[in-house]
Amino acid sequence: MSTTTEGRAPEAAPAPAPEKRGLVDWLVGRLGLSATMEDQYNRIVPKHATNYIYCFGGIAFVLFIMLAVTGILLAVYYQPTPDAAYQSVINISTHVQFGWWVRSIHRWSAGGMVLLVFIHTLRVFFTGAYKAPRELNWLTGVFLFLITLGFGFTGYLLPWDQKAYWATKVGTDIAGSVPLIGHFLLVTLRGGEQISAATLGRFFDLHVLVLPAIIVALLLGHFWMIRRHGISGRL
């Protein structure tokens, strides 16, 4: 007579207790990223780089994220036409709830990003981090700096006030002073000989469509290369 109770399956070997896993582990497993994650976890920040002067690039990126978020929000209410631009900005600052807050974050982060990208560039320069094999990353960095300035220049026109108008007048005049192609640059930027509705449309397009696409592409390259090369050695 068997001791097994009738109708009951014979005792199987106990299954290994399922490991307690969270959503992140599930995603990592489904996407086959365990090797990638392992690589991220095992990276060691070199001791000489645990220093505040190595933080500027990261801070600039945080500012970029804040600018992207607040910029998307501002675009909800901003109207890029000469008739409505200034009033829509005033509307954001005075009537939209927290509009002053969102706009101020955008404005201050914009200035801060230009400053921090510049300081980051100086840090890379003075620590010699641009040297081989990191020349390409320096190069993308230079373009990122120029794109950041481009954001500043195009964004400055958008409130469509006197300061915006004259800053753009001077800025595009400077572009116009380039030998040979100067006049072409000027009319291309302005969308005509004078600053007009076409200029505002073009600057808005650059500010919210063209430059964001370029900066995201360059940032991906910039970050991929820093992972590839690792942080540069000490001086």
Partner 1 sequence: MTRRGFLKWFIAGFGALSLAGVLYPVVRFLKPPPAVSSAIGQVANIGALDSFPAGQLTAVTVHGQPAAVQNLNGKYAVYSLICTHLGCVVGVTGDTFKCPCHGSEFSPTGVVTHGPATLPLPTYHAQTQNGSLLVGPIDLSGAKYPTWYTGEFGA
Residues engaged in binding partner 1 (CB under 8 A): 73, 76, 87, 90-91, 94-99, 101-102
Q: Which is nearer to partner 1, 91 or 226 (CB)?
A: 91
Q: Which is nearer to partner 1, 76 or 213 (CB)?
A: 76
Min dist. Cβ of residue 77 to partner 1 (A): 9
Q: Which is nearer to partner 1, 101 or 126 (CB)?
A: 101
Q: Which is nearer to partner 1, 66 or 198 (CB)?
A: 66
79 Cβ neighbours under 8 A, 6+ residues apart: 85, 88
Min dist. Cβ of residue 203 to partner 1 (A): 23
Do residues 136 and 225 lie in contact, with contact meaning Cβ atoms separated by under 8 Å? yes
Min dist. Cβ of residue 160 to partner 1 (A): 15
Provide the token pair at 24: 């992140």
Provide the token pair at 131: 């040297």
CA distance 215 to 151: 10
Min dist. Cβ of residue 73 to partner 1 (A): 6
Q: Which is nearer to partner 1, 70 or 232 (CB)?
A: 70
Instruction: Write phi, then psi, for 163 (nearest 5 degrees).
Output: -65, -40
Give, in order, the Cα–Cα distances in Å from 110 to each of 48, 63, 107, 165, 180: 30, 8, 5, 19, 32
Min dist. Cβ of residue 65 to partner 1 (A): 12
